[in-house]
Amino acid sequence: MTGNTGLRARNPGGNSTVLQDWGSNCEYGTLRDVLLGPAATFHWMEDNAQWSSVVRETLRRGGKFDQQVAMRQHREVVEAYEDAGVVVHTIGENAMTPYQVYARDSSFMTPYGAVICQLANPRRRGEYAACIRFYMDNDIPIYELVSAGNFEGGDFNMIRPGVVLIGYTGLRTDERSARQVGGWFANEGWEIKYAPIDEFYVHIDLMVCMLSEKAAAVCLDTTPDDVVEWLKRKGIEIVPVSFKDTMALGCNVVSLGDDRILSTAESKGLNAKQKALGFKVYDPDISMFTAAGGGIHCMAQPLRRDRVQ
């Protein structure tokens, strides 16, 4: 028995169908299509402070939101993707879901289709609807829907084809749902590495982001030692990011493939290291978005990458 192409393409017994026209099997294959959220409806939600240490710090410092600046910065992000040859798709607007702009939270892509997440913040849970509409309108199979509890896409990190790092804090993503998701991919024959982290750090992609097949940006101050050693055993070079830069979302970057990285203007330390390693770095200013708790990786849902063997 195989899965269907509606709301569950997953084959419960494993061996699910690998997509031909969409999907991704790692975080660093050449990016062809990306899904972004709408900027027009974005604004800061002060009550998101209970879900994000970054937001709490922004409010403590008296930060102020500027819609025009946010719109301009979002355009710069779109232009960076387009300059890199990436086709940009956008989730539909809904004034009731201003944080839909962080497209990585509400869903994530796999080789078999999209997974629809369950968001922790009750005011964000409605984001699932626009995601489902987008995938169905574009004939992109939905692999599965998380049902065990909170799970957000920033905690699903495909280190290599068939190898995934799954984080959980007990807040934005809880252990029960992390193991539900991990179980699906274990049935597909994948290697699963679980990473319990403190809720202060929000998601695993705040502290570990793949740059290429052989390199990852990692905050050594926050990433569990066993995760760092696990990455090293896989022959992955650790490019260290400071705690200060990490908490400013400086480690939260997107690999565009072919030794190109989409970073941010604020991530000066990591940008310099990436350039020294031979990467081309795009660095738009997204301060209106990082101040609200999400970085450039949080804003992007890769829909299609070239398959990596």
User: Could you read off the pLDDT of 202-234 as tens digits, one per residue?
Assistant: 999 999 999 999 999 999 999 999 999 999 999
User: CA-to-CA distance for 96 and 299, rounded, in angstroms?
Assistant: 18
In a domain, 78, yes or no: yes
Number of CB atoms found within 10 A of residue 27's CB? 28
Assigned domain for 277 exists:
no
Name the pLDDT band for 181 (thresholds 50, 70, 90).
Answer: very high
234 occurs within a structural domain: no
Q: Does 95 map to a domain?
A: yes
Structure confidence by residue, pLDDT tens digits, 64-95: 999 999 999 999 999 999 999 999 999 999 99
pLDDT, position 55: 84
Amino acid at 4: N
Range of the domain at 140: 31-201+284-305
Q: Provide CB contacts within 8 A for 226, sequence distance 6+.
A: none
Query: Which CATH number characterizes residue 50's domain?
Result: 3.75.10.10
In a domain, 47, yes or no: yes
Helices and strands (H and E) in the chain: how many: 9, 15
The answer to whether residue 276 is domain-embedded is no
**16 domain residue, yes or no:** no
Establish if 9 belongs to a structural domain.
no
Number of domains comprising the chain: 1
Q: How far apart are CA 305 and CA 117, in angstroms?
A: 21
Write the pLDDT tens digit of every residue in 96-127: 999 999 999 999 999 999 999 999 999 999 99
